[in-house]
Structure 1
């Protein structure tokens, strides 16, 4: 009785959030960021809305449903969202590349992604889910939740902005009814020799994939916008040492990451955005600037644009807290501790039944 009361109390005192995510899996930054929220006490995840980005939507939905089964949180609803960007198409983008140059990473359109139909769900390495996606679509779920809990719901957007833009288009009060918007996206001036950014410092996939949606989102009247950029994300890595630590921790979350991580060393893009919402003290430097995305169909299409009060044009934009640096040792410790804890509210997690590698 006491543990049940404790969890109910946690839910009463919790912060409300909707996870809007492209969800390639298993493991990887998309799925691991969901675990950051799922492992955190005092966080009430109202639902997970999924859209095409890093991969195709329907396969991503399946990875999300399966993650919830493996950690025992099948009570959280999953909604399918946008399959394609509002305007940009794959064929048009390939034609654009003939004039302006290759884009190294294109998410679901990337040549290295497994080839299958847009609505096809192949056999998943973690096992295909038995639970089902909600009948409600992502945009209407987002709108319904901010009306149900006005000024209390954080929208966490760690994929392209299409679902959020659709909600704004359907309900002009959607953004102002939310508590805040947290974005993983955008790039200003990353200090790196990573070939994806060294010659294109304002290019970042999440905002680039659907520039029109990104611009709609930044022009909406949010009470607060926080943006985790490439600049700060590249200060993080899921190291081999971290994966080894997780292997020795007997919780479904830690075992999921350890079991399915095939490429240690990747940046902790979305995990950082999620963790910094839980503990803003992880961020050591930020800029408070106006942010938008270029809709010029030339070489800058989809690039991040920022202005200060001194040079901002006459556009209706909200200032955003743009994260630039992180306390990396503190973040590492925070992440490992979070994955070491029991999953709040879990029921019948299936991770223990997964075959050993």
Structure 2
């Protein structure tokens, strides 16, 4: 069937592209979607995820709601000023109502049941704050062997966005991020801002998506607030599809080039809170100054044309 995948998400315009990318790919077995607070509050992220799956013709995919707040400290704000008050540029009402009921259990319960039922290891793609994933690993260590890898959109090597140092998903719950990235041993790939910004798409790309059919037109219609924000950031009429870049790597391992580095997360109260500290010194393990713990595969490069075309083809119903 292809990649067995679970997405943990906080839709969000770029999340919408990522969910659709997985939902319409014939080589993906999308087992479930779990939701978390983040770009907008949990009630909106959950409603958006369910409606997006309905748009993609995937009412078979279960959705469960997860954490409504971080593990320790409440985060100061959402990203509604980027994504719109409803998370989808004020256009969530253009999506069809979901026909499948929300799962009665929470996100961690669904993750456990899907992993335990899987006949082979599953890829998890967390593209929001890592609260649900940290809770899963803490409370259910026995599921680790059922996880092939965790492909995370988050962090920044050279930059932040919520602050000068921190990317939004990691900054939203640094304690959870540290648990997953630095304190556990499940294989992880980190897709940071540095690479997602390089994969930004322009108005011509979005016009091709809109012209591709009903799905593409609806997705493009969700981008107004998001592109208005990112056009100022980028300096051209376009947007950054952060989460779709990570899900592309989850679907097609190797579409991003990664390098192994120790990664830590600043959980202090100062200006670096939420910063991903990526140790690129390439010290040997026996060096007394080497960072302790395991390494994380950090995405550092890709063929930009190939990546953009991969996402466009999938969302447009093109080559699989």
- Shorter-chain TM band: 0.7 to 0.9
Aligned CA RMSD, in angstroms, stands at: 2.7
CA distance in 2, matches of 1:301, 1:243: 35
Listed as ranges, the gaps of 5+ residues in structure 1 are 1-12, 94-105, 116-121, 345-357
The aligned residue for residue 263 of structure 2 is 291
The aligned residue for residue 232 of structure 2 is none
Alpha-carbon deviations, 1:184-224, whole Å to 9, x = none?
A: 0111125xxxx948x82x411111110111111122121x2
Q: Is the 8 A contact 1:243 1:257 kept in 2?
A: no
Choose 1 or 2 for highest CA Rg: 1
The aligned residue for residue 248 of structure 1 is 211
Runs (4 or more) in structure 1 with deviation over 4 Å come to: 108-113
Q: 1:343 to 1:112 in 2, by over 3 A?
A: closer
The aligned residue for residue 333 of structure 1 is 309
Q: 1:123 to 1:339 in 2, by over 3 A?
A: closer
The aligned residue for residue 52 of structure 2 is 67
Q: 1:114 to 1:29 in 2, by over 3 A?
A: closer
TM-score (norm. length: structure 2): 0.85
The aligned residue for residue 124 of structure 2 is 155
Partner SS for 2:198: coil
Q: Is the 8 A contact 2:153 2:243 kept in 1?
A: yes
Structure 1 residue 22, shift from structure 2 partner = 0.8
The aligned residue for residue 245 of structure 2 is 272
The aligned residue for residue 102 of structure 2 is 133
The aligned residue for residue 40 of structure 1 is 25
CA distance in 2, matches of 1:301, 1:259: 35
Partner SS for 1:52: coil
TM-score (norm. length: structure 1): 0.76
Are residues 1:305 and 2:283 paired? no
Q: Is the 8 A contact 1:81 1:138 kept in 2?
A: yes
Structure 1 residue 39, shift from structure 2 partner = 1.9
Q: 1:84 to 1:179 in 2, by over 3 A?
A: same
Alpha-carbon deviations, 1:5-61, whole Å to 9, x = none?
A: xxxxxxxx322111001112xxx2011001111121121111000010111111111
Count how many residue pairs are aligned between Structure 1 and Structure 2: 299
Q: 1:123 to 1:227 in 2, by over 3 A?
A: closer
Structure 1 residue 109, shift from structure 2 partner = 7.4
Structure 1 residue 175, shift from structure 2 partner = 3.0
Q: What pairs up with 1:155-194 in 2 under 5 angstroms?
A: 155-190=124-159
Q: Is the 8 A contact 1:17 1:155 kept in 2?
A: yes
Q: Is the 8 A contact 2:7 2:126 kept in 1?
A: yes
Listed as ranges, the gaps of 5+ residues in structure 2 are 228-236
Q: Is the 8 A contact 1:16 1:154 kept in 2?
A: yes
CA distance in 2, matches of 1:306, 1:247: 38
